[in-house]
Structure formats: structure tokens, C-alpha cells
């Protein structure tokens, strides 16, 4: 096999591993976001809905 093919295979392997890591991180942060949305919903049930003006400030 040529050295170029070996280099490309190594790069593909490295990129696949990197992609796997990024997918794991995305899954982690998606779950944190989902948990916090649930937390906000529970708190809003306790204290009432957050006013739109305040929610807009939080989003900024």
C-alpha cells in the first residue's frame, strides 16, 4: 500500500475518533439543556410564569 493511502487512513481514523468525542459532548450538553428546561418548568409551577421581559433579558 502507498504511504499516501496509509496517511489518509490514519487521518480518517483520527477524524472518526474526534467526531465520536464531539457527538458524546453534544449528547452531554443536550441532556444538561433538557434537565435545565425541566428545572425551569418545575420552578415556574412553584412561583408562576416568568414575565416575557425578564425572559428576553435572560436570552440576551
User: At residue 7, does pLDDT exceed 80?
Assistant: yes
Helix (H, G, I), strand (E, B) or coil at 42: helix
d(CA 3, CA 8): 9
Question: Using an 8 Å Cβ cutoff, are 9 and 1 in contact?
Answer: no
User: At residue 59, does pLDDT exceed 90?
Assistant: no
Q: What is the pLDDT of residue 38?
A: 95
d(CA 4, CA 48): 63
Q: What is the pLDDT of residue 1?
A: 79
Q: What is the pLDDT of residue 12?
A: 98
User: Which of 52, 28, 30, 50 lies closest to 41 in space, CA to CA?
Assistant: 50
pTM of the model: 0.61
- Tell me: the pLDDT tens digits for 10-58? 999 999 999 999 999 999 999 999 999 999 889 888 887 777 787 788 8
Amino acid at each position: 500500500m502507498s504511504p499516501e493511502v496509509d496517511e489518509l487512513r490514519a487521518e480518517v481514523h483520527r477524524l472518526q475518533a474526534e467526531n465520536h468525542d464531539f457527538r458524546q459532548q453534544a449528547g452531554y450538553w443536550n441532556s444538561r439543556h433538557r434537565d435545565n428546561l425541566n428545572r425551569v418548568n418545575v420552578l415556574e409551577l412553584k412561583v408562576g410564569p416568568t414575565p416575557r421581559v425578564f425572559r428576553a433579558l435572560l436570552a440576551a
